Amino acid sequence: MVPGALLSWYCHYLAPGTAAVHTGGMTTTGETPRALQAPISPNGNGNRNSAERVERRMELAEFLRARRARIRPADVGLPPGLRRRTPGLRREEVAQLAGVGVTWYTWLEQGRPIRASVQVLDAVARTLRLDPAEVEHLYRLADVPVAPVDAAPSPCPHVVREILDSIEPLPAMVLNSRYDILAANRAHQDLFWREWHTGLSCEGRNVLWCCFVHPEARRHMLNFDEEAPRMVATLRASFAQHLHEPAWTGFIRKLSEASAEFAELWARHEVASAGSRIKHFLHSKAGLLRLRSTSLDISDMPETRIVVYTPVDDDSRERLPLTRSR
């Protein structure tokens, strides 16, 4: 009996509840779909939890396929080959480079209910050349605990408004992980909302909705085409924690329907962390402003940050006061 057939025979007849999969020196035991089905409780929690696990596995499968497609064979020292029907590496090449079983990795990309260890996920992450934000995203989708990232000390929620006002004359706002503007100081309102966004139907004062749905709002941000993929990638990373929440899924569905550009960027499955960025704004009175956006986490408000805009050169620093309303 050939090894593959032997494995299939063993999984079917001797161990109906589990499947032992060889992963290149390691053996990962994963439960079969039947064994992983949660019991149905009277209040329906079993069905909901099961649906959440399925959706998370599907998101993981799409993410892995998207990351694999961006790695060229030449990037990892492999010949290009003559019969490649899809861009990037093949599944068996990823498995070989990561030192895991081809069957195991194939099942992982198919969204099957298998378990992955930290060591195996790290090997896959190295092979796919994932950056820290992508590795964290991979762990969340695989339902593997992620070590918490230390955050700088930040104020309590009840003083956030006072802090925003004290940052004047620098524009600043409070932003959640879905890019909803929760609060802003007057300098921020003068720079953005009074001149550019007045009268626009920016649902929930959402930055992404305004920029992708209303061209008249985004045309003042001269390097938006460069910043847009990063913003969508940051949203995708946050989405891993809200896969089954109607507020999130409904927002992404509506924005995808309203903007083909957003839908295309969302389909890339790129992820990134919020960080410092330089953005170029064109103001009718102040002219060109080069501002650095810096994100500061708020400890008592999960997934919420203060974003402060500071000039990056003397010209922008001199022109910024011209944005203020009388």
The CATH number of whichever domain residue 166 belongs to comes to: 3.30.450.180
CATH assignment at residue 9: 1.10.260.40
Query: Which tokens go with 40?
Result: 């149905």
Mark whether 10 and 135 lie in a shared domain: yes
Run of H or E residues at 144: none
Is residue 150, in this structure, part of any structural domain at all? no
Number of domains in the chain: 2
Say if residues 123 and 99 touch (Cβ distance below 8 Å): yes
C-alpha to C-alpha distance for 194 and 323, rounded to whole angstroms: 10
Angle at Cα 239 formed by Cα 243 and Cα 170, nearest 5°? 150
Expressed in angstroms, the distance from the first to the final Cα of the chain is 85
C-alpha to C-alpha distance for 274 and 293, rounded to whole angstroms: 10
Say if residues 88 and 70 touch (Cβ distance below 8 Å): yes
Residue holding tokens 């080959």? 81
Which residue, 289, 307, 290, is CA-closest to 298?
Answer: 307
Mark whether 126 and 168 lie in a shared domain: no
Q: Which residues contact 235 (CB under 8 A, 6 or more apart)?
A: 177, 178, 179, 208, 252
- Determine what percent of the chain is predicted with pLDDT higher than 90: 37
C-alpha to C-alpha distance for 207 and 275, rounded to whole angstroms: 16
Is residue 133, in this structure, part of any structural domain at all? yes
Mark whether 172 and 250 lie in a shared domain: yes
Helices (H), 170-312: 186-188, 207-213, 215-218, 224-239, 246-258, 260-266
pLDDT at 204: 52
Run of H or E residues at 22: strand 18-22
Ranges under pLDDT 50 in the chain: 1-42, 147-156, 198-199
Is residue 148, in this structure, part of any structural domain at all? no
Mark whether 314 and 170 lie in a shared domain: yes
Run of H or E residues at 295: strand 287-297
Query: Which tokens go with 213?
Result: 């749905």
Query: Which tokens go with 92?
Result: 């068996």
Residue 246 phi/psi, 5° resolution? -55, -35
Mark whether 15 and 111 lie in a shared domain: yes
pLDDT at 228: 95
Domain range for 134 is: 3-141
